[in-house]
Amino acid sequence: MFYKSLDSKPKNILEPPGPKHKFLGANAYFSFLTDGLSFLTKLHKEYGDIVMLKASGHRIYLIADLKYIDHILVRDPENFTKGVGFQRGRIILGNGILTSEGPFHHSQRKMINPAFHRSRWELYFSIVRKSVHNLIADWKERIKKENVLEMHEEMLNLFVEIIFSTAFSEDKNKRLCDCAKKFGDLFHKLNPIYLLDPHKALKLPFPSINRIKKAKEDLDNEIYKVIDKRLKENIKRDDILGIMVDAKDEDGKQMSREQLYDEIFTVYMAGTDTSAKVMTWGFYLLEQNKKDAEKFLKEVDDILGKRDIEFEDFEKLTFTRLVLNETMRMYPPVWLLPRTAEKDFYLDEYLIHKDSSIFITPYLLQRNPKYFENPEKFDPERFNPERKKSIKKFSFIPFGAGQRVCIGEGFAMLHGAVILSLISREFKMTLKKGHKIKLSSSLTLRPKYGVKMVVEPK
């Protein structure tokens, strides 16, 4: 039995291997905050699939063994909460399904699920298609003057339009989107050290803190304007907010004004950031892998030709979906899944202490040669029906796993196919000569210096 919970601690404790901590573990915090991905990669290579380190007296366990991940994310999720980092993050992120826990989380998720049901995909598809057409028209004019575009910023702005169109339909407005773009830009440039304790960080008299507080206040006001108008005037709309307003829990209770805000803000934060990362890395990988790009473009041409994309085309764009999966394998937008142990337990012979942190790293799992042949190679065909059979469960978890798997997983694949196919058909993209690509592993896996492409019409 490799997993066993405990009612009391044994006298003889065997702890996993790991580095010696210096300066009371402050060195570990510094290494994690400055370049977390490289730091965790080095530790796993040196110590194996289960590693322990101490950071300022706090135990952190790094887990890369699939049977452990099964128990933590799927079989016993109630004993592994999202932990102190997400609790502290509520001051910024609210108490939506991303940060909430326990019965409240289960209740909220159940009420929100209908907004992301497959029956609504066709409606959302039309919104994505329209937004992409608008972006294509915008690019055609802009590249006449400046044909170098930074793809990460472009995709973030595109998804602000998409997410608020699906959330608010005709109540989406320019002021709302401008505020969302400004806050998102400031938030994702914020030094991760501030996120260790946002309550204290937001009290610091720094210009960067003041700017993000003002941007958050402006965005909050715009979101509440839409919510308050809907509630006050009993406006009915067939969009995400409309579904949330009408939703009731098991006791027949509807969401409060504040709960509606938290969930809409969560959809905005999670939907724009992670989706923008996937598309940015997707365009980059296709630019770097010419043969796969040719195969992708041939599929788009064979299926679409010169006509517009239709909802039924999604199932036909098989290689396009393989490209998206391989992109998420190589660059999972959520590169780290943190949990907190709610009680003492054993993983094999190792004791894992209550209140300690557990880090599961999809980026490292999905580039592990034990699970993927030639993991550093971009190979979309590894996800074709035959080869996919050899992919071990929990070795590919870009959307998480278990009760907290991403609620928008299917929608993400749908909009990814629309965006990749339509934009790639219209434009040739070439990485700007001399532009450096470097990963930044803060909240999500973003390109530190962006991805600058020379964009030319076909």
Contact assessment for residue 280 and residue 331, using Cβ atoms and an 8 Å cutoff: no
263-279: pLDDT as tens digits: 999 999 888 988 999 99
Domain boundaries, the chain: 1-93+335-365, 103-330+390-457
Q: Is 217 exposed, middle or buried (0-12, 13-18, 19+ CB in 10 A)?
A: exposed
Cα separation of 361 and 146, whole Å?
A: 38
Mean pLDDT of 384-398: 93
The confidence score (pLDDT) of residue 432 equals 97
What average pLDDT does the chain have?
A: 88
> Does the predicted TM-score (pTM) go above 0.85?
yes
pLDDT tens digits along 358-378: 989 899 999 999 999 999 999
Distances (CA, A) of 259 to 21, 93, 251, 255, 262: 42, 12, 16, 6, 5
The predicted pLDDT at position 188 comes to: 75
| pLDDT of res. 11 | 59
Does 14 score more than 70 pLDDT? yes
**Interatomic CA distance for residues 372 and 232, integer angstroms:** 54
Do the first three CATH levels of 1-93+335-365 and 103-330+390-457 match, i.e. the same topology? no
Q: Which residue has the higher pLDDT, 256 or 409?
A: 256
Element (H, E) at 31: helix 26-47
Q: Is the pLDDT of residue 444 over 80?
A: no
From residue 349, give the alpha-carbon distance in Å to each of 16, 290, 294, 341: 9, 48, 50, 17
Segment 53-94, tens digit of pLDDT: 887 778 889 998 898 888 888 887 778 887 666 666 676 777
Domain covering 1-93+335-365: architecture:
2-Layer Sandwich (3.30)
* Res 33 pLDDT > 80: no
Mean pLDDT of 114-135: 94
pLDDT, position 23: 47
> Residue 7, SS3?
coil
Q: Is the model's pLDDT at 169 over the cut of 90?
A: yes
Q: Which residue has the higher pLDDT, 297 or 36?
A: 297
Nearest in space to 112 (alpha carbons), one of 314, 275, 270: 270
pLDDT band at 204 (very low <50, low <70, confident <90, very high): confident
CATH class of 103-330+390-457: mainly alpha
